Structure 1
Amino acid sequence: MSYIAHIRQKDNEIQTVQDHLNEVQQGAERAGEKIGIKTLAGITGLLHDMGKYTDEFLSYIQEAVANPDKPPRRGSVDHSTAGGKLIHERYHFSGATPQAKCTAEWVANCIISHHQGLRDYISPDQTSPYIERVITKELKQYEQAREEFYKHTPPEHLDTLFELATSELQHYIQIIKDHKLPLITGSLLMKYMFSCLIDADRTNTRRFEENETSLESIDHRFFFQTSFTLLSQHLAGLEQGDSANTPINQLRREMSRQCEEFAFRPSGVYTLSIPTGGGKTLASMRYALKHAIEHNKERIIYIVPYTTIIEQNAAEIRSILQNDDMILEHHSNVVDDKFEDRHEDDDGEKYEVRKKNLKLARDHWDRPIIFTTMIQFLNTFYASGTRNVRRLHQLSNAVIVFDEVQSVPVNCISLFNAALNFLNVIGRSSLLLCTATQPGLDFVKHKLHFSNEPEIIQDLEHVGRSFKRVELHDLTQEAQAGWGADELSCFVQEQMREVNSVLVILNTKTAVRKLFETLNEVQWLHDEDVQIVHLSTNMCPAHRKDVFAGNEEQDGLIQRLEKGERIICVSTQLIEAGVNISFECVIRSLAGLDSIAQAAGRCNRHGKDEIRNVYIVRASDEVLTHLPEIKIGADKTERVLQEFRVNPASLGNDLLSSEAIACYFKYYFHHIEEKMHYPIKQLEQKNLFDLIDRNRYYVDAYKNRHAKQPEVLNHYAIATAEKYFEAISNRATAVLVPYGAKGKRLILDLNGALEPNELGEFLREAQQYTVNIYDQELRQLEKNGDVIPLLHGHVLALREPAYSEHFGVEPKGEGTWDMAMF
């Protein structure tokens, strides 16, 4: 009898369990081999669907296909537990070595969890969900599954594989000890194993569904060599420009050259502290490409704080490298987590076609160059389910560039450092931390382990002085209660008497919109033909891109500024990083000094004038109750401002000096010291870092309750940690918006029936037309009837009245459109 793993929807072709297990084993081995855990990853693939070797599952899958409109209850046949049960039963007995027991726990957890996410070994309720699954839970036809499995994989062959897997794991446990890394590094290595399994399983299933006969192969090295040649040609062309020999451009070239030289150094954790406007994007890409070629890396990944930086940086790199297919932008998840079913009994196949295709279509970062956000990076390590972790193995043997690294969410600092240490020591990746305001991540409790002499740029003090283009003016004492929209409007008018362009950056979307509307009502703005532009994250990436760079119909903000047109731009902080734009004056409401430094980088960016002015003000229309990080940053900046008034020499006589930035981060990190480890309010402030490190509190509680040591050597509470993890605490939902003809077409197409390969491409395209909406706004939009469910409710879209030309998403449904523009 041939036991069936899958039945293809189109033609009822079957994939046998044996074929599926062997192919997933091979796929997991390929992913694991990159870091030397080929067998450890492969054995999970060999056993993950062992439970399909039963008459019970055979009947289940045949009935599901025969009755697609009334399939059997999902999860009614558990097929994922059997493989884990076999591993635990065979290798985790009383006389087994600790090494064998540890390996069994890792392998078995990956197998039993491949439909939901890794289980807790010790949970907050003083139980072991892992033990309950591999020992306590009864399986009707377990013996049949085990017997059938052994027909294809003899027990002695499995023993050989397990011995090799144990050796691989012990090798890395010793490395973790030698590098004095915390236990959380082990939990991340287990997640890496899990990633190898999940990606191999999903990929093999998708290939069978689509009848794909060969794996896509990318010659990374050839692509990187070709790309480096094109980048070098581009940089050589810049040296021929009219302003190529100005002191600033000569310094930019020198720093870029230093990046290429530094690329010959071995893999490590390094810093690139080029000042704002110093050509960081191209310089870091020069390092990344050269390092990838010299050290045979498979991937270059850019991690940025905001989607706006992806938009500009990716566009710049695409225009130079001229190969769009090799560059992937991953902005956000169009399909929101909350629509992904995660039931405890959900271990059966998801035979509802729309859901299965959605699952298989998840992007897994398989391109040579990836642009993504800090949130997506952190989700890959710590978010729940199987969707995010699927990408984790792609982060190994890579060059990973963190742009504006100071933007790591406060509560994720310890988790971020743990992930980077793992990627460097275990994942064999090189990490480059880029920012003009390095936050000092090696001076916190769970510190980042930098390589020796990590800074690429030589003589940073000289570079800083050479790049000084602005003077910072502290106006925070002018009005202790702050300026409202009317006062700010008057101040903007004063500045516009002296300059042609002003950028105002405020901390909240509400304050930005209020100032924009106030300015639109004043007569002088219209009399003097001053243009006013609004920017916020309520606008989708494609919309913001058109505002910045223009389109076929009209020039964008960048071109209009270069022409010297009179412009006022009112924006949230999205414009502060990664946007190559220059205003003659910047007004920034009080925030963290690192944010103020970034805002200053949008003023006189190219040194066209000797010195221009940046003003720090208080904005009374900002409510920071739900933005504690900005509030704390503003408070610590205020302390630095007070010290500067008393003794400017102690801070380098410049509020943007390295001394002032270091002083700010010292105060900031001291204030948030306990918040860095991700405290969990629902668990009485137990921190998430400890849950996947030693899990001290709940292990002690387990011992007290049961009066004995846990039956398991591993204590990680991975599922609990994932349950409470959110990279940003304000929960938002991704919605697809009807911006332009393409946005409207995507909404129509995504409501149809798409194959996994088509769906994956549409979801990638849809990221450019997606906005993250907070719950309160979403409820208002739903109340107005402006939310449309697509893909049977897995994707949400907006109706046209809920999106406007000036403001983007309009929760009150006040959007109006000039359709001729699109």
Structure 2
Amino acid sequence: MTVVYIAHVREYDKAIQSVRDHLIGVCHLAERYGEKLGLRSVAGLAGLLHDLGKYSDSFQSYIQTAAFHPEDSNYRRGEVDHSTAGGKLLFSLLHHEETSFHEKLLAEIVSNAIISHHSNLQDYISPNMDSDFLRRVRDKELPEYEQAVERFFEDTISREELSDYISAAVDELRQYTAYSPEQCFFLSKFIFSCLIDADRTDTRRFEEQREAEGKDEEGSSHEYTQQTFLFERYYHRLLDHLAALKDNNQAKGTINELRAQMSDACDEFASKPSGIYTLSIPTGGGKTFASLRYALKHALEFKKHRIIYVVPYTTIIEQNAQEVRQILADDEHILEHHSNIIEDNTLHIEQGDEADDGLITQRERLKLARDNWDSPIIFTTLVQFLNVFYAKGNRNTRRLHNLSHSVIIFDEVQKVPVHCISLFNEALNFLKQTAHCSILLCTATQPTLERVKHSLLKDRDGEIVSDLEFVSKAFKRVELVDRIDKPMTNEQLAAWIQTEIEEWGSTLVILNTKKVVKDLYLLLKETSIPVYHLSTSMCASHRKDQLKEIREMLNRKIPFVCVTTQLIEAGVDVSFRCVIRSLAGLDSIAQAAGRCNRHGEELSRNVYIIRHAEEKLKSLKEIEIGGSISASLIGIFNKKAERYGGSLLFQRAMEDYFTHFYRKMESSLNYYVPEVNNEMTKLLMSHPKENSYINHYYRKTGKPFPLCLCGSYRTAAEHFQVIDEPTTSVIVPYHRGREIIAQLNSIEWIEDLNQLLKEAQHYIVNLYPQEWRILRQEGAIVEHLDGMIYELRENWYSKEYGVDLMGEGELEFISW
């Protein structure tokens, strides 16, 4: 009788997926994903070996008992190591004195993916000069290892077939001739991504009782065929929309003619080969549709699989995605990915890496339901983009392979955090050079990313807008007014606004910290002036409703004040008659100016730059240093305006600003990690000859380091975060927020769960550690699904401020 070795058991009907079926299914999917970079067999090898350890008696005994006799189980979940065996086998076959460099490299890259597929990639060498990787693949004793290997060769593939498959993988790896530390890191992450997504996808299919879809067997070329008819339809719909705008009588005049010319330039530029290009359209110049026109045309001409918009703030996602949906008349194929609803650490078993124990429970279904970015058009944030490459938790890395063969548009690219600049540049260089991507950097305030140490490989003559200075002058709608000589308190600011509001009309005040924003709002509330408040303490749906009211006030031309942090600066389409901006970086000042007289309603309006007396910027070094450089440039401009073409908002001043800013922040660009006294770039991308850990290893052991690779991948992932303080996502009780919580508690099917998680993003607020501690102590946080999802109680959410740490929120306007 044929023995069936179990990989997974469905919880609700106790159906079995065999180890053989799972390994072959994952192998085929991983081949399809790896094919995108010519690494079909390399990725497939990871899939073929990843769960080899499930052939052991220990695992089979565990899964049988846990699934069918849980009352008798002596095992704890995740206790049986099933992920080491496959990596150990490959390492033993390929990593010894007789094997070639490419065989050793293959063993290191693929074995690491295998042993790490429920956690993070392991350190080849760690800060304590040990190798977690070698400890697993070479040194760890697995009592039933030989047994599992024999069953694998009997049940799944012969030794000869595996040898041939490995040879094909080695040949594929030879095509990458540079083998720089940067390239090896990204290739390792790419293979890891292919494995993780293939593993999750195959398990999900089993959970949903679906056979492998035909399209997955046909490879990446079929994926493009599926997308191309959508992109053709989208392209023509966009052209029809732009033609309608052109025919509109109100669309005449110099500004609208320039918008049309820049849009046409994007269409023409799209025929150039893929690269890293810049689109420096001034504020109000139609950047969203112009960049989309480039992306659609380029995707069609160069067979790209998807278009990805990356923005700094969720506020831009909400606005841009809605605009694009309306023009393209498609909701189904456009994904908004704001934030992760479920914290990744809640899905890991306490015992460590063996989180997948074969039982597909509700906890596992939540993991399977996460989006892997396989939609044709995706809107996501800069945080999510950087997390794909560098953050811990394999939910992030799972998406990486789907970035290949894409057009990626970075909106407001100047908002990349300083400590992530080098990492950002290296990721884009990989996407351009290896992953067949075309990248467009969109902003009116282009940063000089090509002038730093880990420089961005921009293409020469890569600016789409010709004669930038002429275009900038044509779009000039404001004058910057210097009021920084005397610092101003909130009381003085409120008094000034009261005196001038009738003359100014609609007024936007942008300050640097949430505290001074809220304090000014409370002061202005005591006056007769209508006042609005915007903050990241509000969920996306709440901000959207507030902005709708604000736009209605602007349309009615009623004098009022909106007080906000810098969240409104990047891409939010509002136009005030007056803007007051607290001193910050020149790029922030320029973006703030873009919210004033945005559509040229008047010949010119004023943007006042003030120095706020009450802002505490000690922990906001980028704003503090940016402000000091801006103050210097303002002083130079006041004496010699012609140096910058008559405006600090033009590109010449912006280049000077970023050159000085990056020079001043040079020590921060490579992401210093104080816990290990090293830079993130060195942890991930240092050459063995320059790696201090390798030198210490030799002095410690008296032996040369035995591996080709020396990255501290796990250490880096454990310390990486785009935002300085890690945040925790909570669903807030705004409108449908509570209803979504109730549905998440009862949901069964993964497809429904996927849709619900996407909707839940609109009702999420990310809490900083101090906020989280206060709310937990006050009993304001409710845990759901064993702590996988968090909800904020009603009294701690306000219709004015969003999250209210005082527990005095009022949500009487909510109806169910």
TM-score normalized by the length of structure 2: 0.96
Q: Within 1, Cα distance between the matches of 2:278 and 2:104?
A: 40
| Distance verdict in 2 for CA 1:475–1:111, change over 3 Å | same
Asked whether 1:505 is paired with 2:487, we answer no
SS at match of 2:166: helix
| 1:689 aligned partner, one-letter code | T
Identity %: 48
Q: Deviation at 1:214? A: 4.6
Contact kept? 1:80, 1:113, Cα under 8 Å = yes
Q: 1:146 aligns with which of 149, 171, 174?
A: 149
Alignment map for 1:774-813 (pairs within 5 Å): 774-813=768-807
Aligned equivalents of 1:816, 1:256: Cα separation in 2: 46
CA contact (8 A) 1:780 1:812 kept: no
In the alignment, residue 503 of structure 2 is paired with which amino acid?
A: E
Q: Are 2:171 and 1:167 equivalent residues in the alignment?
A: yes
Partner residue of 2:573 out of 572, 580, 583: 580
**Pair 1:568–1:348, CA change in 2 (3 A):** closer
Structure 2 counterpart of 1:23, which letter?
A: G
- Structure 2 residue aligned with 1:552: none
- 1:566 is aligned to 559
Structure 1 residue aligned with 2:418, among 410, 415, 418? 410
| Match runs of 1:667-706 below 5 Å | 667-684=660-677, 686-694=678-686, 696-706=691-701
Contact 2:390 2:717 in 1 (8 A): yes
Alignment pair present for 1:611 and 2:609: no
CA apart distance, 1:820? 6.2
Match of 2:62 in 1: 60
Aligned to 1:637: 630
Give the Cα separation in 2 of the matches to 1:414 and 1:679.
11
Point out where structure 2 has 5 or more consecutive residues left out of the alignment. 216-222
Aligned to 1:816: 810
Q: Deviations over 1:21-77 (max 9, x none)?
A: 111001001111111111110110001011111222111111111244775212321
2:753 corresponds, among 751, 755, 759, to 759
User: Equivalent residue for 1:155?
Assistant: 159
* Offset of residue 778 of structure 1: 1.5
Paired with 2:547 and 2:349, the residues of 1 have a C-alpha distance of 40
Q: Secondary structure at the match of 1:645?
A: helix
Q: Report what 1:553 is aligned to.
A: none
Partner of 2:220: none
Aligned-residue offset at 1:804? 0.9
Aligned AA for 1:66?
F
Match of 2:44 in 1: 42
Contact 1:778 1:811 (C-alpha < 8 Å) held by counterparts: no
Residue by residue over 1:202-241, the C-alpha shift from the partner in whole angstroms, topping out at 9 and shown as x without a partner, is 0100110111235396721111111111111111111122
Q: 1:484-495 maps to which residues of 2 (within 5 A)?
A: 484-495=489-500
Quote the Cα distance in structure 1 between the aligned partners of 2:71 and 2:741: 26
Alignment-mate amino acid for residue 711 of structure 2: Y
Structure 1: distance between partners of 2:250 and 2:323: 20
Q: Does structure 1 retain, via aligned residues, the 8 Å contact 2:10–2:361?
A: no
Q: Is the Cα contact below 8 Å between 1:22 and 1:46 reproduced in 2?
A: yes
1-structure distance, mates of 2:343, 2:658 = 34
Cα displacement string for residues 604-632 of structure 1 (whole angstroms, at most 9, x for unaligned residues)? 00011111000000112211122221111
- State whether structure 2 residue 526 is matched by structure 1 residue 521: yes
Please state whether the residue corresponding to 1:497 is helix, strand or coil.
helix
- Structure 2: how far apart are the matches of 1:409 and 1:415? 10
The answer (yes or no) to whether the contact 1:400–1:431 under 8 Å persists in 2 is yes
Contact 1:81/1:112 (CA < 8 Å) preserved in 2? yes
Say if 2:418 and 2:665, in contact at 8 Å, map to a contact too: yes
Alpha-carbon distance in 2 for matches of 1:668, 1:393:
34
1:326-357 per-residue CA deviation (whole Å, 9 max, x = no partner) reads 00100011112443436564325343723211
Q: How does 1:299-318 map to 2 (within 5 A)?
A: 299-318=306-325
Q: 1:306-705 counterparts in 2 under 5 A? A: 306-341=313-348, 345-347=352-354, 349-350=356-357, 351=359, 353-477=361-485, 479=486, 482-522=487-527, 526=528, 530-549=529-548, 556-684=549-677, 686-694=678-686, 696-705=691-700
Structure 1 contact 116–342 (Cα < 8 Å) conserved: no
Which amino acid is 2:135 matched to? Answer: E
In structure 2, relative to structure 1, the CA distance for the partners of 1:598 and 1:266 (3 Å cut) is same
CA distance in 2, matches of 1:12, 1:799: 37
**Counterpart position of 1:736:** 731
SS of corresponding position for 2:733: coil
SS at match of 2:456: coil
Whole-angstrom CA distance in 2 between matches of 1:251 and 1:276: 12
Q: Report if the CA contact (8 A) 1:116-1:385 is conserved.
A: yes
Report the secondary structure of 2:546's partner residue.
helix
Give the superposition deviation at 1:485: 1.3
- Residue 245 of structure 1 corresponds to which residue in structure 2? 252
Determine the C-alpha separation between the residues in 1 that align with 2:593 and 2:30.
47
Secondary structure of 1:372's counterpart equals strand
Distance 1:700 1:344, change over 3 A: farther
Counterpart residue type for residue 738 of structure 1: P
Corresponding position of 1:15: 17
C-alpha contact 2:9 2:360 (8 A) present in aligned 1:
no
Match of 1:211 in 2: 209
- Contact 1:334 1:766 (C-alpha < 8 Å) held by counterparts: yes
Alpha-carbon distance change, 730 to 786 in structure 1, aligned in 2, over 3 angstroms: same
Structure 2: distance between partners of 1:82 and 1:732: 36
Deviation at 1:590, TM superposition (A): 0.4
Counterpart residue identity of residue 38, structure 1: R
- Which of 127, 130, 133 aligns to 1:130? It is 133
Matched residue of 1:120: which SS?
coil
Instruction: State the match for 1:25 in structure 2.
Output: 27
Going from structure 1 to structure 2, the CA distance change for 1:68 and 1:567 (only over 3 Å counts) comes to farther
Q: CA RMSD in A?
A: 1.5
- Alpha-carbon shift at residue 272 of structure 1 (Å): 0.3
Displacement after TM superposition at 1:116 (Å): 0.7
For 1:293 and 1:808, the matched residues in 2 are separated by 43
| Contact 1:79/1:348 (8 A) holds in 2 | no
Q: How many residues get paired?
A: 799
Alpha-carbon distance change, 230 to 48 in structure 1, aligned in 2, over 3 angstroms: same
- 1:782-817, Cα deviation, whole Å (9 max, x unpaired): 222211111211111111111111111101111012
Which residue type is aligned with residue 107 of structure 1?
V
User: Partner of 2:704 in structure 1?
Assistant: 709
Deviation at 1:366, TM superposition (A): 1.3
Match of 2:77 among 61, 74, 78: 74
The letter of the residue matching 1:806 is E
Q: Is the 8 A contact 2:502 2:559 kept in 1?
A: no
* 2:732 matches 1:724: no
C-alpha deviation, 1:704, in angstroms:
1.4
The question of whether the paired residues in 1 share the 8 Å contact of 2:79 and 2:351 is answered with no
Q: Is the 8 A contact 2:426 2:456 kept in 1?
A: yes
Provide the C-alpha distance between the structure 2 equivalents of 1:282 and 1:810, rounded to a whole number of angstroms. Answer: 38
Distance in structure 1 (CA, Å) of the matches to 2:693 and 2:766: 35
2:92 corresponds to which of 58, 76, 89 = 89
For residue 711 of structure 2, give the secondary structure of its aligned residue in structure 1: coil
Deviations 1:102-136, CA, capped at 9 Å, x for gaps: 11111111111111111111111111111110111
Per-residue Cα deviation, 1:524-552 (whole angstroms, up to 9, x for no partner): xx2xxx42110000010011111113xxx
Hey, what's the Cα distance between the residues in 2 that align with 1:534 and 1:334? 25
Letter in 2 for 1:153: I
One-letter code aligned to 1:138: E
